[in-house]
Amino acid sequence: MYQLLDGKQTSIAIKDQIANEVRQYTAKGMRPPHLAAILVGDDGASQTYVANKEKSSHEVGFTSSVYRYSSNTSEEELLRAIEFLNDDDEVDGFIVQLPLPKHINEQNVINAISPDKDVDGFTPINIGRMVLGEDAFLPATPMGVCSILEHYNIETEGKHCVVIGRSNIVGTPVANLLSRNKKGANCTVTLCHSRTRNLPEITRQADILVVAIGKQEFVTADMVKPGAVVIDVGIHRVPDETKKNGYHLAGDVKHSEVDSLCSWVTPVPGGVGPLTIVSLLQNTMKAYRKHMSLN
Ligand code: GUN
């Protein structure tokens, strides 16, 4: 019988720890940590993400602010907003919600964020620090994958971890983090992608299978070794007339046939998803401690 890696419960436990830490500081008269977000345009999914980040920030006692810009904002104007937040001593960390409108160069924008406030871990400096194993803000989803494994005391050392997907924000950093010489890592990692040959043959060797390919129900039973730990990072809206909102959510794993093979598996929704915002809160807490010289 498989067991669920419950991201919702894990996120509640970590948020409790953060809220406790915030209370310790505010009880001494210090201001709470402040997470800001820049939101450009009116993309529905982005608005939902930012609203969830605000809600979670408030739950742990952070100050939260959102700077909204219209979709025709120029890159220069956005860069000025970033400069403003870089210089604002009352802001510990901020994110620029992606994607940005097409006329704005995303990499220029990311490069402008101060590495000390880059709580998304998207700047080249933080990515470089991560790869070197230095102290860094880690990207939210990969950090969430590590947090859930750690929360359930899943042994990683010496395990063969197969990652499917090599995106900059999930697959590549997950492969990096799990192969590091650190507690909660030390895996032997294989990174698979669109040009990988004999994919099922490789994924069947995985003790830990991390799926971040962005294709609905891509991983089927024939691709999974019995007893594997399966982490599904995918999230897809599937039209469903029986649901009030008109859709249900599916992952990159075909859970109806894969789950029964697993020792542990993340559900979708309620797996890695809730952990990503928690990672952002953890990074903001870290930025605050550094900013306030607390450690
Ligand atoms: N868009 C989708 N996910 C993310 C994220 O983690 N951070 C930012 N800034 N934008 C996103």
Q: Which of 111, 120, 143, 283 to mutate to test the pocket of ligand 1 (most atoms within 8 A of CB)?
A: 120
Q: Is 56 in the pocket of ligand 1 (CB under 6 A)?
A: no
CB 130 within 8 A of CB 160: no
Distance of alpha carbon 136 from the chain centroid: 15
Q: Residue-wise pLDDT tens for the chain (295 aa)? A: 999 999 999 999 999 999 999 999 999 999 999 999 999 999 999 999 999 999 999 999 999 999 999 999 999 999 999 999 999 999 999 999 999 999 999 999 999 999 999 999 999 999 999 999 999 999 999 999 999 999 999 999 999 999 999 999 999 999 999 999 999 999 999 999 999 999 999 999 999 999 999 999 999 999 999 999 999 999 999 999 999 999 999 999 999 999 999 999 999 999 999 999 999 999 999 999 999 999 7
Nearest CA to ligand 1 atom 2: 98
Structural domains of the chain sorted by starting position, each given as residue range(s) with its CATH number in brackets: 29-115 (3.40.50.10860), 140-272 (3.40.50.720)
Q: Is 64 in the pocket of ligand 1 (CB under 6 A)?
A: no
| Residue 153 Ramachandran class (φ > 0 left, ψ -120 to 50 alpha, else beta) | left
Q: Say what the pLDDT of residue 255 is.
A: 98
Is residue 107 part of the annotated active site? The answer reads no
SS3 109: helix
CA distance 127 to 115: 10
Q: Say what the pLDDT of residue 262 is.
A: 98
Q: Give Cβ neighbours of residue 167 (< 8 Å, ≥ 6 apart).
A: 212, 214
CA distance 214 to 233: 8
276 alpha carbon – ligand 1 mean position (Å): 9
Nearest CA to ligand 1 atom 8: 97
Residue with tokens 């669109």: 194
Q: Say what the pLDDT of residue 17 is.
A: 98
Angle at the Cα of 140 from the Cα atoms of 165 and 266, rounded to 5 degrees: 65
Ligand 1 atom nearest to CA at 99:
1
Is residue 8 part of the annotated active site? The answer reads no
Q: What is the torsion angle, in degrees rounded to the nearest 10, for the CA atoms of residue 89, residue 91, residue 92 and residue 95?
A: -140
Residue 32 DSSP class? P
3-state secondary structure 201-262: HHHCCCCEEEECCCCCCCECHHHCCCCCEEEECCCEEEECCCCCCCEEEECCECHHHHHHHC
CB 170 within 8 A of CB 116: no
Q: Is 138 in the pocket of ligand 1 (CB under 6 A)?
A: no
Q: Is 196 exposed, middle or buried (0-12, 13-18, 19+ CB in 10 A)?
A: middle
Is residue 47 part of the annotated active site? The answer reads no
Buried b (16+ CB within 10 A) or exposed e, 263-276: bbbbbbebbbbbbb
Q: Say what the pLDDT of residue 295 is.
A: 77
CA distance 92 to 111: 18
Q: Say what the pLDDT of residue 65 is.
A: 98
97 alpha carbon – ligand 1 mean position (Å): 5
CA distance 58 to 63: 7
CA distances from 156 to 123, 124, 259, 280 (A): 28, 27, 20, 23
Instruction: Record the pTM.
Output: 0.96
Q: Say what the pLDDT of residue 208 is.
A: 99
Residues 236, 239, 243, 245, CA torsion sign: positive
**Per this entry, what is the length of the chain?**
295
Token pair of 219 as six digits: 């991983």
Spot the catalytic one: 6, 118, 120, 207. 120
Element (H, E) at 273: helix 273-291
Q: Give Cβ neighbours of residue 241 (< 8 Å, ≥ 6 apart).
A: none
Distance of alpha carbon 4 from the chain centroid: 19
Cis peptide before 115 (omega within 30 of 0): no
122 alpha carbon – ligand 1 mean position (Å): 9
